[in-house]
A and B are shown apart, each in its own frame.
Chain A
Amino acid sequence: DARVTQTPRHKVTEMGQEVTMRCQPILGHNTVFWYRQTMMQGLELLAYFRNRAPLDDSGMPKDRFSAEMPDATLATLKIQPSEPRDSAVYFCASALPLGDTEAFFGQGTRLTVV
């Protein structure tokens, strides 16, 4: 049963700490999305990769956020330093590159920064 795996599922951290969220896309999917979901802003696209290269990260605050794909089986989203306003659910999704195929979502990482 192919699925996108995100770790950790929940993270509570203190303001100023580094946070790393991980995502394992579905094998064979070469397109990866990172989204942030909050009540106020809905689903915001933070970054978008194809073949491990970032195609669009304009939605990501560059001063504290970074996203990478060290290899085809791992995508990471880092926040350093974290702030309370970063509290949200972060979703990773993977897809084939074609526009007529759906993206499959992970279960999300619920981040709380205190």
Chain B
Amino acid sequence: AQKITQTQPGMFVQEKEAVTLDCTYDTSDPSYGLFWYKQPSSGEMIFLIYQGSYDQQNATEGRYSLNFQKARKSANLVISASQLGDSAMYFCAMRENNAGNMLTFGGGTRLMVKP
């Protein structure tokens, strides 16, 4: 079974609009961390934001926020005020404590920002 599922292979968003990228995960471990990475066309993997399973509040980093719904096992990334430079692949990932904190990725979502 997939540990991390990203159901949107590709998305468009208008510049300056907000966009939500979906991520659901599967774990029975009470202790885990959720991460989002950005991969622009240049290929590097850039860490964006982290949410811990015990965190009470949703994580925020600048224009990025994580909509963490633990009971639904979802960790959606919200990008506010989209910019052309946000066009990239976005990956959701998880580290599970019981799996030795191995880092597992979803299939990614390609975001395209329209001017």
Contact = CB atoms under 8 A, between A and B. Distances in A.
Interface of A: 31, 33, 35, 42-43, 45, 48, 50, 55-56, 89, 91, 93, 95, 97-105, 107-108
Interface of B: 31-33, 35, 37, 43-45, 47, 50, 52, 91, 95-97, 100-108
Contacts, number: 57
A97 B102 contact: no
A33 B45 contact: no
Contacts of B102: 33, 45, 48, 55-56
A50 B33 CA distance: 18
Q: Provide the main secondary structure of the chain B interface.
A: strand
* SS class, residues of chain A in contact with chain B: strand
Contacts of A107: 43-44
Given A99-B31, A107-B44, A93 B103 contact: yes
A29 B101 CA distance: 14
Contacts of A89: 43
Contacts of A91: 45
